[in-house]
Chain A
Amino acid sequence: MKKNELKVIGKSHQKLDSKERVSGKAIYGHDIELPNMLHGSILRTKYPCADIISIDTSRAEALKGVECVITAADIDVNNISYKRDHPILKKGTVNCNRDEIAAVAAKTKEIADKAIQLIEVEYKVKEGIYDPFTAIEKDSPKINEFGKGAEKFGNKNIAESFHYEHDDLEEQKTLSKVIVKKTYELPRVTHACLATSNITAKFDQLDGRLTLWSSTQVPFLYQRDIAHALKMDPSKIRIIQPVIGGGFGSKLDMYPFEPICALLAMKSGKPVQILYSREEEFIASPTRQPMVIELTTGADANGKFTFREIEIIKDNGAYTSWGATTPFVMMQAFSSLYQVPACKFDSQAVYTNNPFAGSFRGYGNPQATFSIEINIDLMAEELGMDKAEIRLINANYKGEVTGQGLHFKTCGAIPALETVIKKSQFDQIYNESKKGRYRRGIGLGSMLHVGGGAKIYRSDGCGTTLKLDDYGYLTIITGSSEIGQGSETVLAMIAIEELGIPIEKIKVINTDTDVKPWDVGVHASRTSFVAGNSLLGAIKLLKGKLNKKASELLNVVTEDWVYQDGMMLFNEFEIKVDKVAREIHFGSPHELCTVNYFYEPPSRFQDKDFKGDVSGNYAFATQAIEVEVDTVTGNVNVLNVHVSQDVGRVLNPIGLQGQIEGGVAIGIGYALTEEMIYENGILMNPSFHGYKLLTTTDMPNVHFYPIESYDEAGPYGSKGAGEAPLIPTAAAIANAVSNAIGIRFDSLPITAEKVLRALSENTK
């Protein structure tokens, strides 16, 4: 695909909703107040592993202002979650410290919280299992009573299992000059969205319809999940998405508090709102998958990779979320990031009495990439090779079809590597002497991620309805959702580019399942790609209508109308777009300028062996990160982050830059500061005081060099970009720390404490 000249795409455009957000006028879930609205509160278990002997709610029910109390005994519902192994309210046993036992709706939040304290639960405390390696031992008790591990995977505590392989591993081992085997441990971290989880529910008893104001990022899957949970018809459930205060994958699953809120509304007959406190957000919202990865990799005498063999044990926690499917993405990284002649991958998600892990931006890929990129450094060291060189000779290339069947029709892997190696002055910093208190180091990390959606659900599509009104104003009704990433701005830019309608005349409607057409949701960096293509399809239909009518009105025969500044132009002919729309409406054929289009990407389901071209295109990136280690305090200071990423084509430069910087910030937190610390299933640091997010003064300079590979599958040649910037960050930082002080860290986060301990052990 060649770069064609565009007027709007590729030039920075301010975020469509930013004026509303910067003036405090945007309405988030926390800001909703409905008439007669009650406030809900949830009683969670006192112990992460126990039998429930009895629940007495009588004192809570007697409290003035309490309108309803529910426990498992009061509700007729189905289990929720990806594996349907999660009861909404627990009875009999509790399995982790998030477990919901009862819920209250009351006139005020204070009364609801007080009522929760008055519920008396008698427990028989049991010894929990918090280590997945203990959980998979034969004599361990079964943790989740609904788990099907014994039947499906030969072990009662295995929640999900994946096996993948391509080509002959043993043969490749014989060709290897060097084989590196290493075990990595990745921590549990959380999204820490600035807005805590929230939901408002209203049930209309007259027609049996339920309305939920929910910050889900997958409204149509969510509608179906809520319906399944509550045994309702999905079409009777309307999902309205208020402005969402951060997503990052946390809102991919539906969680118990959401049907609980609906049940409270149904039982009380009044609207009910549940808002998490920050402490509750830490305790009861999802996390990234913690895991132990054992990675064995080989390379031949020339440094060409020969094979990868992977064994992963993931701590699934007590229930199973979409996050259990992260191996779909991880196996792509292991099988196809760089050229990999042979690969064997096994991963087990194991039930424990820890809280269940969910999905988080990157979806398993930061963990996989961390292990891959460190092993590459180690192999280079054993071979005495340059760390840039070993990556370049193994890099992915245009036209490559990987062992897994991913087809890289375009590929910016080599340009991305070359760019950051040069711009970061990698060789110079890498080879400078490392002495004194402050030691500088530099490291590399690359990544591969889906860039054109991912076919993991039966449809990976998105619908668009366009309405051009009598005055030339365009309403884009898109199935896709805005969660802060700026996708609706990109959609508006596409409409301006194609139809020449000024921004003041464009509106994007995307928050109501009763109105908008179907879309699978915000995930897999897919929104600009899938919703953009869907919009382009709809615009083509709209132009067909307008072109025909304009030609008829001006008595010319052409399809080549140019849309510019509200006008349609062809040679000496010109006519206003809104006039054409009015002629279609009020004249013949008496139609509205409304069109519908549904786009389904050309990607395919992978076969039972997980082989196949799963995405419309693929994103590639490399980061070179420069750090300075203080050998007195152990503190790792990130100085410069050089990011080069194949984004296909830059659509909105300022929006893309924000995605890159924001992703890198989460990546640095993952590398250096963030960890949820559990002791016997209880979270010890449920606050921003104990869980360290980066602040303004921690943030290094981020230098971004986009690679434009113009992939024809994406809108104007673009690829998904949202997840990529955090995927290789921790790997590059770990490699940089090793360069600075000569010590390898195989677990995250690389805290000052850990560095200091390692330095003192090294000097003994």
Chain B
Amino acid sequence: MDEKLVTISFTINGENVTKQLMPSLLLIDLIRDKLKLKGTKPGCMEGECGACSVIVNGDAINSCMYLAINIDGKKVTTIEGLGDSKDPLHNVQKKMVDHGAVQCGFCTSGMVMTTKAYSDKCLEEGITPTRDEVKKSLEGNLCRCTGYARIIDAAEAVYK
């Protein structure tokens, strides 16, 4: 409680924000509790399940293992930052819907964000990853409902 507040500026979902934060605040708590973006899910708070994945400067990270002050000067995208008023679902989200990748949905935000970060990089470099590479990219995201097959299908379909 005695920690000195630190002022940071960042962009989240396209919006420029300046905040005074406690240095110990986790990024997931900034996102969910302070910014009220509830689409990022707390699955384990120990970096094992990937449900809280968000994109920081192009990389998907576990927001439960990342201090909020470390986003100073960076660009953060959460699940709420995908799609726009014209097209409310991003291609990755559409593929997840089409391939039946969603059951309870608690892991889904993390699956989408991880797939988006990975596919953005692949598409930028003109690479179409193999199915095994797609699987590997999602290895840090746990799902208890689906057995992953539909999710992997959806992630692969992003390149088609």
Is residue A642 within 8 Å, beta carbon to beta carbon, of the partner chain?
A: no
Q: A484-B103, A658-B100, A658-B103 are in contact. Are A699 and B39 (CB under 8 A)?
A: no
Q: State in angstroms the CA–CA spacing of A654 and B154 once bound together.
A: 13
Q: Are A14 and B41 in contact (CB under 8 A)?
A: no
Shortest distance in angstroms between B27's beta carbon and chain A's nearest beta carbon? 16
Within 8 A of A (CB), among B113-160: 132, 135-136, 138-152
Q: A22-B96, A696-B139 are in contact. Are A662 and B147 (CB under 8 A)?
A: yes
Residues of A within 8 A of B44 (CB): 278, 687-688
Q: State in angstroms the CA–CA spacing of A689 and B42 once bound together.
A: 16
Shortest distance in angstroms between B3's beta carbon and chain A's nearest beta carbon? 13
Is residue A10 within 8 Å, beta carbon to beta carbon, of the partner chain?
A: no
Question: What 7 new A-B contacts, CB under 8 Å, besides A194-B106, A694-B147?
Answer: A19-B89, A24-B78, A28-B41, A246-B106, A484-B105, A688-B49, A697-B132
Is residue B63 within 8 Å, beta carbon to beta carbon, of the partner chain?
A: no
Residues of A within 8 A of B89 (CB): 19, 22-23
Residue interface mask B89-102, A partner, CB < 8 A = 1 = 10001001111111
Is residue A21 within 8 Å, beta carbon to beta carbon, of the partner chain?
A: yes
Q: Are A22 and B93 in contact (CB under 8 A)?
A: yes
Q: Are B104 and A195 in contact (CB under 8 A)?
A: yes
Q: State in angstroms the CA–CA spacing of A291 and B45 once bound together.
A: 32
Is residue B55 within 8 Å, beta carbon to beta carbon, of the partner chain?
A: no
Q: Are A191 and B144 in contact (CB under 8 A)?
A: yes
Residue of A nearest to B141 (CB): A696
Question: Which residue of the partner chain, among A24, A663, A699, contacts B109 with CB atoms under 8 Å?
Answer: A24
Residues of B within 8 A of A456 (CB): none
Q: State in angstroms the CA–CA spacing of A657 and B153 once bound together.
A: 13
Q: Are B144 and A483 in contact (CB under 8 A)?
A: no
Question: Which residue of the partner chain, among A22, A27, A661, A688, contacts B112 with CB atoms under 8 Å?
Answer: A22
Instruction: Indicate the member of B39, B40, B136 with the most A CB atoms within 10 Å.
Output: B39
Q: A191-B144, A484-B145 are in contact. Are A31 and B98 (CB under 8 A)?
A: no
Is residue A17 within 8 Å, beta carbon to beta carbon, of the partner chain?
A: yes
Is residue A566 within 8 Å, beta carbon to beta carbon, of the partner chain?
A: no
Residue of A nearest to B40 (CB): A24
Residue of B nearest to A688 (CB): B48
Q: Are B139 and A22 in contact (CB under 8 A)?
A: no
Residues of B within 8 A of A693 (CB): 142, 144
Residue interface mask A681-712, B partner, CB < 8 A = 1 = 00000011100011111010010000000000
Residues of B within 8 A of A662 (CB): 103, 144-147
Is residue B51 within 8 Å, beta carbon to beta carbon, of the partner chain?
A: yes
Is residue B76 within 8 Å, beta carbon to beta carbon, of the partner chain?
A: no
Residues of B within 8 A of A688 (CB): 44, 46, 48-49, 142
A-B contact pairs, 27 of them (CB 8 A): A14-B98, A18-B96, A18-B101, A21-B104, A21-B105, A21-B108, A22-B93, A22-B96, A23-B39, A23-B82, A23-B89, A28-B41, A191-B144, A196-B42, A246-B144, A278-B44, A278-B49, A655-B100, A657-B150, A662-B146, A688-B46, A693-B144, A694-B147, A695-B139, A695-B141, A696-B148, A699-B149
Is residue A464 within 8 Å, beta carbon to beta carbon, of the partner chain?
A: no
Shortest distance in angstroms between B36's beta carbon and chain A's nearest beta carbon? 8
Is residue A664 within 8 Å, beta carbon to beta carbon, of the partner chain?
A: yes
Shortest distance in angstroms between A248's beta carbon and chain B's nearest beta carbon? 7
Q: State in angstroms the CA–CA spacing of A277 and B105 once bound together.
A: 19
Residue of A nearest to B104 (CB): A484
Q: A21-B102, A22-B105, A24-B79 are in contact. Are A702 and B147 (CB under 8 A)?
A: yes
Is residue A344 within 8 Å, beta carbon to beta carbon, of the partner chain?
A: no
Is residue A2 within 8 Å, beta carbon to beta carbon, of the partner chain?
A: no
Residue of A nearest to B154 (CB): A22
Q: Are A14 and B97 in contact (CB under 8 A)?
A: yes
Q: A23-B93, A24-B79, A689-B48 are in contact. Are A15 and B102 (CB under 8 A)?
A: yes
Instruction: Indicate the member of B100, B147, B152 with the most A CB atoms within 10 Å.
Output: B147
